[in-house]
């Protein structure tokens, strides 16, 4: 869509000030492109998260699930219940930590930004490190899941380095 120049619009009398109109256009476009979506956690339905957890638990119990069906169902739950994708990644990593078989989660991992997965994985390492200071949790399952993700090139060790090695 081609817009008329602000100076031309001022000359024909549609806008009072060409410079002010141009500033408004720039601000509008910037707001459209760079405004982050903020998820209202009160708007989200806990039913969606419970269905997501049941879906992952079903995989962990049965071990047989269609990988593309899993990804499709997770994305459908995100859309249907307005779930925060970041919280979904966190729940996904919990499920993956308990059963890190890449075949079932391969299609789902590709639906998320890989940098987001590495960031959340690193934050989980930080939480576990802080919890281990009080001798409350082991990091072996998370390290095993991270090793599987690194070996399948979904996460790079360089991305985890700031979180893991202090």
Sequential pLDDT tens for the chain (166 residues): 456 788 888 888 888 898 988 898 888 888 777 766 665 555 567 888 889 988 888 876 766 567 778 888 899 998 888 888 888 888 888 888 887 766 777 888 888 888 888 888 888 888 887 776 655 556 788 888 888 888 888 888 888 888 776 5
Distance, CA of 92 to CA of 99 (rounded, Å): 11
Domain parsing of the chain, residue ranges? 1-35, 46-164
Q: Give the torsion through C-alpha atoms of 150, 153, 157, 159, to 10 deg.
A: -120
Q: List, as one string, the DSSP characters of 132-163.
A: HTTT----HHHHHHHHHHHHTTSS-HHHHHHH
- Listed in sequence order, the residues at least 6 apart from 75 whose beta carbon sits closer than 8 Å to its beta carbon are 111
In terms of pTM, does the model score above 0.75?
no
């Amino acid at each position: 869509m081609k817009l008329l120049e602000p100076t031309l619009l001022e000359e024909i009398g549609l806008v009072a000030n060409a410079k002010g109109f141009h500033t408004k256009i720039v601000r509008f476009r910037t707001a459209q492109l760079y405004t982050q979506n903020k998820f209202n956690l009160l708007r989200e339905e806990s039913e969606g998260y419970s269905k997501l957890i049941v879906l992952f638990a079903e995989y962990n119990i049965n071990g047989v699930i269609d990988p593309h069906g899993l990804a499709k169902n997770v994305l459908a739950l995100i859309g249907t219940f307005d779930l925060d994708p970041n919280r979904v990644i966190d729940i996904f990593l919990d499920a993956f930590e308990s059963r890190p078989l890449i075949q079932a989660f391969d299609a789902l991992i590709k639906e998320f930004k890989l940098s987001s997965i590495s960031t959340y994985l690193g934050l989980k390492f930080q939480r576990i490190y802080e919890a281990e200071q009080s001798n409350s949790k082991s990091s072996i399952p998370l390290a095993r899941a991270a090793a599987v993700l690194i070996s399948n090139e979904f996460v790079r060790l360089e991305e985890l380095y700031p979180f893991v090695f202090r």
